[in-house]
Structure 1
């Protein structure tokens, strides 16, 4: 099947990429559908209060995933590309680093919970899920297969794991009538399934984790490269999740549970811009090297593409929100208008992902996490102001404004303001009308 052409980009290169990643993308979509359907069942079974309590534990541990992952995956792929003969040393060192980070995260999560706990969510729930940081240290097998352009194996592991996970969770609902604690263990077991699948797949391809070796010099090199990504990841975690904990603490677990259904629907498609950007950005970087004007045109085309995808989706979901919430029990129905607002955050996420890659390409990595930090501050302040007055709708409005402020923060920076203007042209369809006008003149 021939993929649609995208203006300004090499068709042959796009087709080559999609041959390598198309199945992985389909796997993500399939896994997403399975996960969403199961989450609806869990939300209806637990009701909003218990679902909020469960989500409080999941969200709390999410804050520390940037620490436990160490931002290493990109550099693991890069090292494996450059030094394939050092595979076992690279993977062994990365595994040890992630394992140590997972262990360090345990007391950090405990201390954070003492300072600002998630109200109504027992620490036991948080403690159980804290071990995901240790379990996911094995996931360095994922970047290994990426470096081999064999993402299909990762897709297969993920799909099988999600199917088994779905069966387990549905069994807890229909056969065991399980309490909420069992679902906490079930979500931890999701990581066990993934890790076991990665190990089995790696071993079946003629490799062995027993051959992994740790190297102190390489460890220092990897950490020295990745620490900005760790800080950025922490900022992103706070930026994208602090609203859920604030809502739970300032209102109650029931509202947090209803809002969790909104967030899961609204953010389900956030992997799409990353796939698109990773597909198109090599061509953009080539243009930057060869022809600066073509580079600017391709960036504008990328911003346009982000809007062409996210804007119609936001419009459709806004109108479809009441129908979506027919899938939930009536106690969740008041969250439908909240979804209609929150879904618009995706437009700014799509633009932000594209622009974030541009910042990295032009060596403005520090600016990337500065603007994320700015978005986090705006989000916290607006939540403090709006949650007491408006509840979950206030949280959605705060998130939407914070995402917009973060994405367009670069307009305030003189050397980057042009990129902000380019994104505004895409957002308000100015560049689209310019292209139509030029086409009609021809």
Structure 2
């Protein structure tokens, strides 16, 4: 089933030449680092300033460490600090992990963000593996003991980014997704009373879980997991908080884009390859189809909601636009046609997985998004994006592989396995949506 010609196009403009607010200036990073080190009147290079901020992470005063982390984050947003990372990788990682283990909620949030930026900077390779191996346990422990929403959201986003960049095995990604899922469905002891999860945390769990799902092969997950997740996200569509509804809608779109063929396959054959005739394997598939009518009605209603008391127009429009796209996808297999301009270069996305990945990383990177999209080879590989650069004559041209290496860490070219896997998943997701996909899967359409 192809894409219809009249399909709505959403265009987001993120041109660094025109939007000065989107990227913080290097002078801001410099002044922050100098204020941390107390050397505002000394002219030193940027890596020296970063080293001074790194030294400040050893200070006993929490406010000093917080200021140092903020300065490091600003510096990593402004430029990809490959040379500094090559020299100080281990020290920076372990000091940030110490902040997660012992710091205030604010320091934990800053430490989490710094680790995520570190992972995006190093790309795939040995450093990425070390970040994943060293970070998962302390993040998981901090999540279990967290009662602060800001801290919880930061920990979730850090876990998501680190796993996205570093995980090369399905089991590693599933482990992180399970840690997230347990926040919504905790295992309670006999003397433990369930506590209502704040809406901001629910939204973060669903968003990070869906973000990692975009890297998964749907055939590696069983139908029981799909049933549980689809049923739960359907209940979230009825919640009062608009952010929860939106995150659940995005998650459902990714689920059906990624895993619906798994369900169809299980419906047709048993593990030994024989044709199913109404046995238990059919039950899971039938249960999913049973949710179809309910989900379509929910999505249709949310795409045309008139608004409610206290709701803002911006959030309402975001909800309507999202669920219009989700409705078209679930009914007919059409996906939103998204084009985003980044520093004079156009990036096109044609799958829900790509869109979810881009929106998540845009949110995480904030003011550093444009810079990373322009110079970060990991993101180039993930999105199939090759930015144009001006040569010495001022003429724009596509970057060559040699020019790309000038902007990248030596470590990033040692191991391409992760980025190649993500790129493969992106292409597979595109293939699934060309010519044959529809939510109803043929003759069981109950619209």
TM-score interval w.r.t. the shorter chain?
A: under 0.3
Structure having the larger proportion of residues in strand? 2
Relative to total residues, which structure has the larger helix share, 1 or 2? 1
Output the TM-score relative to the length of structure 2: 0.26
